[in-house]
Amino acid sequence: MKLANLHSNAVDYPKSGQPVALNSIPRLKSRIKPDWNAPETVDISSGNFYESTRAIGRLFRAIDLPIEHGSDPHRKRVQVQNHNRQLEGLEDALNNFNLADAREDYLFAVVEVYVREFIDTNWTHDQEEVASVSQLFTRYASELRGICASSNLSHTRSALISEEEAMVGTIAQKSSQPRKRKDMMAKLRESTDVLVRGIREELGEGVSTAYLKRAWMAWELSITQTQRKEFGAQSFGWVALGAIFDAIRELKESDDN
């Protein structure tokens, strides 16, 4: 409450002409700060930080991200190894959907039954449409790779952040410049949002039935490409799945009208 009042007085200074006296500002009880408040690349065992027992302290210690280093080969190998370990949980969570084996997956079967209410999922695909959707995936994967390359905090130009990081809009890497990482994460989310919107718009050309067919073809293509371990295939599948639901919504709304 005292800090709030002092802040209010400081804001009113241009009007009141009364500055806040520096000696009235409460001092910290100790110079030692909680570990969660430490800069990312600072050694918290230096004696300037203590182990916080609060929830924020426990969450802070539960996360162990790799640190951005220079060009030292050994450090770079350690960085990559730590980065891969850190992403295992995220990657496993995304793969729980079992996209690679989606045709035997329960969720795939449920979606297919739902889609069959509007179109025949076993129709003979038009080769031009297949080529069009295939080119759409190629474009998506290429642009996503470029986004991942430009969003990397490492000094290595050829390094990429993972598809999983791009998909959830984060950069799982410590840096001595957290403001820079925050700005890059904002650009990452903006870039991926523009990319996904563009892909969805191209899938959505034409009437809703054509939209649903193209979205379903994109979904099937993503399964094939995921089985081949193609970069971008996993997230492209989620984009296609979102398009499927969007097309079905449009069809149901048109039926209601």
| More reliable by pLDDT, 81 or 54 | 54
* Average confidence score pLDDT of the chain: 80
Least confident of 125-129, 204-208, 252-256: 204-208
Domain ranges of the chain: 2-62, 73-256
pTM tops 0.75: no
In this prediction, residue 109 carries a pLDDT of: 80
CA 225 and chain centroid, separation:
20
Name the DSSP class of 54.
Answer: S
Residue 175 class from Cβ within 10 Å (0-12 exposed, 13-18 middle, 19+ buried)?
buried
In this prediction, residue 187 carries a pLDDT of: 93
Mean pLDDT of 199-219: 84
In this prediction, residue 78 carries a pLDDT of: 47
